């Protein structure tokens, strides 16, 4: 169980979502945030209030923005594998790690990052399609047939 002292080591402690968004929007702007995060609240009718409303309802998007704040805006080193499993607000930053200056980002860097992510996703999909499905030849899911002998539920039906 974490204590109040542990949360003092997280730059998100005591920072509201609206304050966080205001800081990163003033520094980077909506176009750059959309380019890096690919969240439509930074692209269509972008405003702090609409982004806060969306992010409060959408956990995955809020966590993505909070992680961006920690690791790009505050320039903290990458979290350990154990801490990475936690939402950004629950992570404990080691005392020797202090926030730095915001990272210098550009739209060109964002484009390269998106291309890298697309290649990685395509490779993952390719590997997934090459894996055996794990089904056995006699499995009813692999080859549907009308024969009751192939029905795995036949002995429970009356």
Are the C-beta atoms of residues 80 and 89 closer than 8 Å to each other? no
Tokens 């080193």 belong to residue: 77
- When the pLDDT of each residue in the chain is averaged and rounded to a whole number, the result is 83
* Best CA proximity match to 30, nearest among 45, 42, 47, 44: 42
Q: Is the pLDDT of residue 129 over 90?
A: no
Domain boundaries, the chain: 4-127
- In tens, the pLDDT along 27-81 reads 999 999 999 999 999 998 899 999 999 999 999 999 999 999 999 999 888 888 8
pTM of the model: 0.73
Q: 4-127 belongs to which homologous superfamily?
A: SAP domain (1.10.720.30)
When pLDDT is cut at 50, 70 and 90, the band that residue 3 belongs to is very low
The 10 Å Cβ neighbour count of residue 18 is: 14
CA–CA separation, 24 vs 14, rounded Å? 16
pLDDT per residue as tens digits for the range 136-158? 555 555 445 555 567 777 776 66
Task: Please list the alpha-helical segments (H only) found in 38-106.
Answer: 48-57, 59-68, 81-84
């Amino acid at each position: 169980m974490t204590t109040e002292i542990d949360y003092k080591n997280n730059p998100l402690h005591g920072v509201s979502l609206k304050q966080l968004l205001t800081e990163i929007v003033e520094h980077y702007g909506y176009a750059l945030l959309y380019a890096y995060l690919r969240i439509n609240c930074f692209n269509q009718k972008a405003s702090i209030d609409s982004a806060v409303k969306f992010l409060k309802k959408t956990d995955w998007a809020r966590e993505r923005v909070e992680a961006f704040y920690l690791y790009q805006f505050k320039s903290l080193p990458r979290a350990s594998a154990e801490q990475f499993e936690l939402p950004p607000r629950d992570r404990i930053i080691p005392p020797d790690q202090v926030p730095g200056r915001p990272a210098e980002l550009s739209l060109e860097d964002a484009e390269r990052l998106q291309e890298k992510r697309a290649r990685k996703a395509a490779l993952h999909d390719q590997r997934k399609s090459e894996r055996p499905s794990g089904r056995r030849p006699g499995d009813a899911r692999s080859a549907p047939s009308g024969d009751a002998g192939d029905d795995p539920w036949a002995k429970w039906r009356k």
